[in-house]
Structure 1
Amino acid sequence: MTIGLTFDCANAAVMAAFWKLALGYEDEPPPPPFATREEWLASFDLPEDDEGGGAWLHDPTGVGPRLSLLEVPEPKTAKNRLHLDIRVSGQGTDEERWARVLDRVAVLTEAGARTLWVAEGHHVVMADPEGNEFCVC
């Protein structure tokens, strides 16, 4: 068994770009025998007015869960009941680890995330471009 995570979103392309940068993920190829995601989606009996886009991402190392980003018409209205932790790897002192966390926070801020709360020396709670909470630790 494996785990996949699905995010509802307003703009799958923006969210895919952000999460690929945040996690080092790549676009997931369509399942065989389909040559494209469009061909795969056409194989389902979806309503004609269903124009919702999507993006499917995977960890190229095969370790992390698959991410699906599905466009929905309704906005996010509440705090997540589940969030991702982005764990900064590496060895060293607490100060060195915290510096790596802050470096990653800076990269993600540049990519459209915002800081919600800082637990100094331990983790930073952030929100992605559509407001989904996650931690960098």
Structure 2
Amino acid sequence: MALTVQVTFDCADPGALAEFWCEVLGYRLESPPAGFDSWDAALDAWGVPPEHRNDRSAAVDPEGDGPRLFFQKVPEGKTAKNRVHLDVRAAAEATGDERMAALEAKADALVALGAERVRRHEPDAEPGSAGFLVLRDPEGNEFCLD
């Protein structure tokens, strides 16, 4: 049996962070369970009170290829650099100026959604590097545009 991977984010606002990552990756919010026409209907049936309706959210690849992203509310804020991060392959086939221009354009779009620029790594600044950008999502999680 093949195993699958889910990437889990601890966060303060699962709904908003799930929507941000849906925009970044072209994902969609996970559909409600079978038998329910909306998440509100499911949560009503399960007796989840309004104050806990944003305790978790999930985003899925509409093609079914990428991992599920799960967002869970935690009481503490982010305090240190990620030990694991996502590399968003926004210009994997491009090189040089064309690559960096494509990454910059994607970064501009993500900043408009709430991301923050951290730094730019120029092509060949490090042996074998084609260049990449480091950003943070709206809750401070680092990720790279590659």
TM-score interval for Structure 1 and Structure 2 normalised by the shorter chain: 0.7 to 0.9
Corresponding residue SS for 2:16? helix
- The one of 81, 84, 90 equivalent to 1:82 is 84
Describe the shift of the 1:124–1:110 C-alpha distance in structure 2 as closer, same or farther (beyond 3 A).
Answer: same
The answer for unaligned runs of 5 or more in structure 2 is 124-130
Q: Report if aligned partners of 2:58, 2:70 keep a CA contact under 8 Å in 1.
A: yes
| In structure 1, C-alpha distance between the alignment counterparts of 2:94 and 2:71, rounded to whole Å | 35
Corresponding residue SS for 1:60? coil
For 1:14, the equivalent position in structure 2 comes to 16
For 2:58, the equivalent position in structure 1 comes to 56
Count of aligned pairs: 135
* 1:90 positional shift: 6.2
- The one of 66, 69, 76 equivalent to 2:68 is 66
1:133 to 2:142 alignment:
yes
Percent of pairs with identical residues: 40
The one-character-per-residue Cα deviations of 1:11-63 (angstroms, maximum 9, x if unpaired) are 1122122111111110111343555445269659x9x8x82521110011111
- Larger deviation, residues 101-110 vs 9-18: 9-18
The one-character-per-residue Cα deviations of 1:86-115 (angstroms, maximum 9, x if unpaired) are 011464542212211111011111111111
Describe the shift of the 1:120–1:90 C-alpha distance in structure 2 as closer, same or farther (beyond 3 A).
Answer: closer
Q: Report if aligned partners of 1:34, 1:40 keep a CA contact under 8 Å in 2.
A: no
* 1:74 positional shift: 1.2
The answer for unaligned runs of 5 or more in structure 1 is none
Corresponding residue SS for 1:55? strand
CA RMSD across the alignment: 2.4
For 2:127, the equivalent position in structure 1 comes to none
Could you tell me which amino acid in structure 1 is paired with residue 34 of structure 2?
P
Would you identify which runs of 4 or more consecutive aligned residues in structure 1 move more than 2 Å? 30-44, 89-94
| In structure 2, C-alpha distance between the alignment counterparts of 1:41 and 1:67, rounded to whole Å | 24
Q: Structure 1 length as normaliser, TM-score? A: 0.84
